[in-house]
Chains A and B, each alone.
Chain A
Amino acid sequence: GESVGLHLPTLSVQEGDNSIINCAYSNSASDYFIWYKQESGKGPQFIIDIRSNMDKRQGQRVTVLLNKTVKHLSLQIAATQPGDSAVYFCADNNAGNMLTFGGGTRLMVKP
C-alpha cells in the first residue's frame, strides 16, 4: 500500500551547519510532494513543495530534491538556526489535498 516514510527519526545539528532530512515514498504514481514543519503544540506549516516535473526547487534557505528513480526526496536547510528546531514531515499530495504524511523527523539544533 501507499506509504511515505523517513530514514531518520531524529537529527541533531550544530547551529550554522546545513541540515538534510530524507524521505522515501512507495507510490511511483505520486507526482506532488510537500514538506511541512511542525513546532511543538502547533499545526503543520507549509515549507516548500515540488512536482514531479522538477528535480530541484529552492526557497529561502531551503531546497527540496526529488529523485523519481529511487522514489526519494530530501529537504535541505542551509545555515540551520535554533528556530528551525521542529518536526519535519514530507507528504504526498497525490489525492487532492488528502495528504499522506510520513512519520516525521525531529530536528534539534545545538547552539
Chain B
Amino acid sequence: NAGVTQTPKFQVLKTGQSMTLQCAQDMNHNSMYWYRQDPGMGLRLIYYSASEGTTDKGEVPNGYNVSRLNKREFSLRLESAAPSQTSVYFCASSLNRGFLTEAFFGQGTRLTVV
C-alpha cells in the first residue's frame, strides 16, 4: 500500500531551468495538494485540486503551474526555476475537500535551485 508517492526525492536545478514534480496516490482520494516547506515557515499551500479536472491557487502560487492528470496524479511544474524556489515540496491527498478526513502526505521532494 504505497499511499502518496512523490518523484523525484531530490533535485538540483540551475536558475531558469524547468522541471515537473510528480505525485500519485492510490487511495482513490478526491482532493490533492501541493505544499512547500521552508525553515521556520511551516507548510504553505501552493495549489490544490478539489476533484479531477479542477485546480485552485493556494497561498503561494506564483512561479508554479499544476495539472490534475487524472484522479490519481497531480503534478507541479516550475517553468523557470529561481533560487527562491529552493524548498522541500510535499504532495498530499484527502478523501474530501477541506481535509474533513485525514490527509496523507508524501515523503517530500527536496529541491535546490542554484
* A-B interaction: no
